Structure formats: structure tokens, C-alpha cells
């Protein structure tokens, strides 16, 4: 008898070309995970037949679908980038201004009349390359000091004032930007169970990303979860798909909420000392069922909604009070936080949020007074989205 051990399992996924169909000659991407609950879900109805022996006549299967997800500790890697794309329904793209009319307003500022450096993904500390300017001093490598929608300020002070001609371009080497979109994407997940002489492979097809959660807590690893709604869970197989391979997951450091973590709360000028920050994104996905079809015929997306909790120390003269005041005044602001392991990083940005609830919590003796608030992310017209991620 060979009972499977959880420590001998693996979980992998592959993007689908056709919804509900595992890609032929598949290269499955393994993931780093701490637990999962993928399941073949059945809808059943108990017969209401009246019998003289007082027994139940039947349990009728009326539909099937796939559901579940997995928990993770956040690190940077291609598997996370792909799953972020499915959660936000977009595609990572180079952080780039594109060709634009870029003026040089001073010895250290690039300016524009339209568009937004913020929406393009530019951030303080990035290394940028500029091209297309008439004066050679304005073309080259620089470091970003600060960013506003129409002004990008660099650390260097070597620029020469000039008016742009429409062929200027600014790019960030290695940085990519993912915005919330409306792409329709799906995945097959595969669960592998080591069974000694006989292994088991269980596949879940047609998975559209429904929920994506992140949790940042002091003195903790950054954790999260992905959940999908799919077509169905297939019967257990004893062999890998013919021609399929497995790609190893990233081996980068796991992010924590202390080292390299940076938080910006829009509209709050004082420093905010957080103890917890969460983000919960849902795509309100649901299976589409039809007569004559046991599994779902598709999974529809609904409205993207992003909510979360934020807990901070209350300071009557600093950011904690301002955070509570933002709740009372119903003032919109931004939330932006970054995690960095010294080599790799992610920045999560909600350009416009409003606080739905807020309180100053006096829990008992010998405790700190905390500000606890919940927020709702809203679409920001300048950015054209309610969320984006920079990798």
C-alpha cells in the first residue's frame, strides 16, 4: 500500500489556447505553494419521489464544474507574473512613454502636455533611457528622483532646456507594467500525487481567475491566494500528458513585509506605520450552464472589484490620524506598496481608493490604539484602471 504524502506532491499550470482544452504538447509551469483545494464540483439534486418504504430513491447529478485554488508565499518569478496577468486580465508590457512630445523644462525635468508619466508606470528610483531629443545632453541614462503626471524629475542636473518635436521616448530597462484589463484567459491546473509505483495526475480545465488575495503583516512573510472557476476536474490519470514537460518554479527569495517594503498612502502627508494591509480582488466569475451539457459551456467574468483592510498605529499628529480623517471626509486617495528582496521587486498600485469603514480600536489594557479601515478601489480616469502591478 502506497499512501500519498503531501510533501511529495506538486502543482502546475499551463495557459490554454482554447477554453477548457489543455494545450497540446504542454509545458506545465510548476508553482511554489503552501496548500491547495482544487476540486471537481458536482451539482446534485435529491429525488423527491414518495416511496412506501420511506427511502430516498436517487441523487441526480445535474451539473459539474471545476473550482478551488492555492495558497502561496510571494516571490518574484514567471509563474507569478502569468497568474497576475490572469487575475488582472491584462498583459505585462515594457514601462515606456512611447513616442511623445517631451519637453525639457529645466536641467532636471522632462515634461509633457498630455498623457501621464504615472500611468505609464514611471516611479522614483528607476533607471531610465531617453532618446529622440535634439540636444545630445538630453539623450542617455538617468535616474528618476520623483514623478508627477506631467513632470518627471531626475537626479542629474545636466539637461538642456528644449521643446520636444514628437519623437521623444523614455523607457525603463527591465521594468514591466500590468494594468487591469478585459482579456479572456484560461488555465489548466495539474495536481500530481506521488503514489510509489503508480502516480496520479489530476487536471482541472477551463480555469478563469476569479479571486486574488494578498496579505502584508508585520513580522510575517507576504502571503496570498489564487482561486479559479473552471470547466471541470478530469478523472485521475496515471501518466503525464504525452509530450508534456514541467518548468521549474523560481528560486528567488520570499518577500516579507518588513525588509524592502515601502508604502505610500495618497492624501496622507504624515508617516503611516502599518501593522497589516490586505488586498482582495475578485472578477465575479461564474460558470455558464446549458441544457444538454454536463460541464459548464464557459465561465463568464463579471465586474472587477478590489477591497481590503488597512490597520495602522494611531498617532494624533501624524499619518494614523490623517488616515482616519480620510475615512470621515470620504476623501479619495491612492494606495501603493512595494516589496523588494534586494534584487527583485513588485509594486502594487491602487490609484484611487475610498475608505468604507474606519474606527480607532481600543482593544484593552496594555495595547496600542489602532486605526482599522476598509477600502474600495475605484477606477481612476487618469490611469484608466483601478489597479496595476510593476515588476
Are 283 and 351 in the same domain? Answer: yes
Give the structural domain span for 347.
8-41+61-90+181-390
pLDDT for the residue 386? 95
User: Are 260 and 375 members of one domain?
Assistant: yes
Q: What pLDDT, in 10s, does the model give residues 108-162?
A: 999 999 988 988 888 887 889 999 999 999 999 999 999 988 999 999 999 999 9
> Domain containing 103 — which CATH number?
2.40.30
So what's the pLDDT on residue 5?
75
Q: Answer with the one of 177, 201, 235 that is the final residue of a domain.
A: 177
Residues making up the chain, counted from first to last: 391
Q: Please tell me what DSSP assigns to residue 47.
A: -
User: 226 - beta bridge partners?
Assistant: 70, 212
Integer Cα distance of 128 and 4 in angstroms: 51
Q: Are residues 351 and 235 in the same domain?
A: yes
Please indicate, yes or no, if residue 362 is contained in any of the structural domains: yes
347 and 268, same domain (yes or no) = yes
pLDDT > 90? residue 361 = no
Confidence class for position 288, pLDDT limits 50, 70, 90: very high
Domain count, the chain: 2
Give the per-residue pLDDT at 196. 67
Is 272 in the same domain as 287? Answer: yes
Residues 298 and 201 in one domain: yes
> Based on the domain organization, do 78 and 104 belong to the same domain?
no
pLDDT of 326 > 90? The answer is no
**219 and 107 in a common domain:** no
In a domain, 120, yes or no: yes
What does the block give as the cell for 267?
A: 492624501
Confidence of residue 168 (pLDDT cuts 50, 70, 90): very high
Domain assignment of residue 1, yes or no: no
- Shared-domain flag, residues 36 and 104: no
pLDDT for 173-205, tens place per residue? Answer: 777 889 999 999 999 999 988 866 678 889 999
Q: Is the pTM of this model over 0.75?
A: yes
C-alpha closest to that of 344 among 253, 222, 282: 253
Euclidean distance between CA atoms 273 and 214, whole angstroms: 18
Any domain includes 2: no
Looking at the fold, whether 223 and 130 belong to one and the same domain comes out as no
- Look at residues 359, 381, 362, 363 and name the one whose alpha carbon lies nearest to residue 371: 359
Q: Could you tell me if 198 and 313 lie in one domain?
A: yes
> What are the tens digits of pLDDT across the range 274-286?
899 999 999 999 9
Amino acid at each position: 500500500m502506497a499512501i500519498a504524502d503531501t510533501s511529495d506532491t506538486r502543482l502546475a499550470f499551463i495557459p490554454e489556447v482554447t477554453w477548457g482544452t489543455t494545450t497540446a504538447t504542454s509545458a506545465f509551469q510548476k508553482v511554489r505553494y503552501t496548500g491547495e483545494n482544487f476540486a471537481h464540483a458536482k451539482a446534485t439534486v435529491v429525488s423527491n419521489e414518495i416511496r412506501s418504504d420511506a427511502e430516498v430513491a436517487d441523487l441526480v447529478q445535474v451539473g459539474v464544474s471545476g473550482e478551488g485554488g492555492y495558497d502561496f508565499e510571494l516571490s518574484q518569478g514567471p509563474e507569478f507574473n502569468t497568474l497576475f496577468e490572469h487575475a488582472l486580465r491584462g498583459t505585462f508590457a515594457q514601462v515606456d512613454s512611447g513616442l511623445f512630445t517631451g519637453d525639457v523644462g529645466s536641467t532636471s525635468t522632462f515634461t509633457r502636455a498630455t498623457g501621464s508619466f504615472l500611468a505609464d508606470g514611471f516611479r522614483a528610483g528607476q533607471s531610465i533611457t531617453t532618446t529622440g531629443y535634439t540636444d545630445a545632453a538630453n539623450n542617455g541614462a538617468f535616474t528618476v528622483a520623483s514623478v508627477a503626471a506631467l513632470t518627471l524629475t531626475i537626479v542629474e542636473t545636466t539637461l538642456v532646456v528644449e521643446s520636444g518635436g514628437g519623437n521623444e521616448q523614455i523607457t525603463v530597462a527591465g521594468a514591466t507594467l500590468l494594468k487591469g484589463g478585459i482579456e479572456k484567459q484560461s488555465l489548466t491546473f495539474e495536481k500530481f500525487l506521488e503514489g510509489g509505483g503508480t502516480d496520479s495526475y489530476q487536471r482541472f480545465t477551463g480555469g478563469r481567475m476569479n479571486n486574488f488575495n494578498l496579505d502584508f503583516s508585520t513580522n510575517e512573510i507576504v502571503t496570498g491566494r489564487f482561486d479559479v472557476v473552471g470547466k471541470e476536474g478530469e478523472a485521475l490519470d496515471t501518466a503525464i500528458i504525452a509530450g508534456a514537460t514541467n518548468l521549474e518554479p523560481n528560486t528567488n527569495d520570499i518577500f516579507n513585509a518588513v525588509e524592502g517594503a515601502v508604502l505610500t498612502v495618497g492624501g496622507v502627508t504624515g508617516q503611516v506605520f502599518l501593522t497589516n494591509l490586505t488586498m482582495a480582488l475578485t472578477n465575479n466569475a461564474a460558470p455558464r450552464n446549458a441544457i444538454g451539457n454536463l460541464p459548464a459551456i464557459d465561465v463568464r467574468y463579471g465586474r472587477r472589484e478590489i477591497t481590503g483592510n488597512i490597520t495602522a498605529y494611531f498617532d494624533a499628529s501624524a499619518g494614523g490620524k490623517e488616515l482616519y480623517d480620510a475615512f470621515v471626509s470620504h476623501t479619495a486617495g491612492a494606495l501603493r506598496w512595494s516589496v523588494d528582496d534586494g534584487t527583485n521587486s513588485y509594486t502594487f498600485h491602487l490609484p484611487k481608493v475610498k475608505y468604507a469603514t474606519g474606527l480607532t480600536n481600543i482593544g484593552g489594557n496594555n495595547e496600542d490604539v489602532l486605526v482599522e479601515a476598509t477600502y474600495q478601489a475605484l477606477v481612476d480616469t487618469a490611469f484608466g484602471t483601478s489597479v496595476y502591478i510593476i515588476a
